[in-house]
Structure 1
């Protein structure tokens, strides 16, 4: 089944690390490795302060996160790749066409909608996105 899951957004400081840490928390008892990366990552940066705060308020410590750039090797190694937007999935398929069968939109099992980028927005935008990611995590659990 799925042993290596990769979540992807653009900067790898808001959405994909939030999804990574939420998935890790929900899958802690299972032998599944969850990681994240960005298509245009802010390499080396920690998670956005508001995203980090929301995780902490839900009992999850994301302080160890360090943004990293997505590469073809990561796409090949992962068993399941979840992009936050349709355009992210399309970009990853262009990067590694051979991985197309394991690349999906994070919201696949719900409405298939894009998870909007809260970067540089106020806390309510982050709260909205956190809720969407939480719903997305729940929707994937039955398949993992």
Structure 2
């Protein structure tokens, strides 16, 4: 059983907070903690405005989000680590033996599909990423 889920991307302002808030929302009252962090976080920055708008359009308020840098303690504390790209899996494995065996692509249940970074792109790129994230979250929800 997973009690603590960590979601990781690069900047922690687009993909990982979108997954974090969407997954929290869908989990409802279940006793699972979801957090996020970035491999190269834009520390202290709020969620990207377009990512925040898409969540808001689905009834989810992510205005409290502030980006944070991934630290070893986050990896150690997590039961499950969800990442967006294979390169993130490799980085985590190099960085911490604690991540191995607990780190998976968000798109694992969609044929190990990666979620591209929409940072500094137009809204259609964010909409595409949101759909991929939505499908990835649904895939994991069935297994939590």
Q: TM tier, shorter chain? A: over 0.9
Tell me whether 1:13 sits opposite 2:32 in the alignment.
no
In 1, Cα distance between the equivalents of 2:141 and 2:14?
A: 21
In 2, Cα distance between the equivalents of 1:55 and 1:131?
A: 11
Residue 99 of structure 1 and its aligned partner are, at CA, apart by 2.4
RMSD: 0.6
Residue 5 of structure 1 and its aligned partner are, at CA, apart by 0.2
* TM-score, scaled relative to structure 2: 0.98
Spell out structure 1 runs of 4+ moving beyond 4 A. Answer: none
Tell me whether 1:42 sits opposite 2:42 in the alignment.
yes
In structure 2, the gaps of 5 or more residues are: none
Matches for 1:1-144 after TM superposition, within 5 Å: 1-144=1-144
In 2, Cα distance between the equivalents of 1:66 and 1:142?
A: 28
Aligned residues: 144
The superposition leaves residues 3-22 of structure 1 with CA deviations (integer Å, 9 ceiling, x where unpaired) of: 00000000000000000001
The superposition leaves residues 65-90 of structure 1 with CA deviations (integer Å, 9 ceiling, x where unpaired) of: 00000011101100000011010011
| Contact 2:23 2:34 (C-alpha < 8 Å) held by counterparts | yes
1:35 alignment partner, SS class = strand
The superposition leaves residues 24-57 of structure 1 with CA deviations (integer Å, 9 ceiling, x where unpaired) of: 0011220000000000000000000000000000
* TM-score, scaled relative to structure 1: 0.98
Residue 114 of structure 1 and its aligned partner are, at CA, apart by 1.3
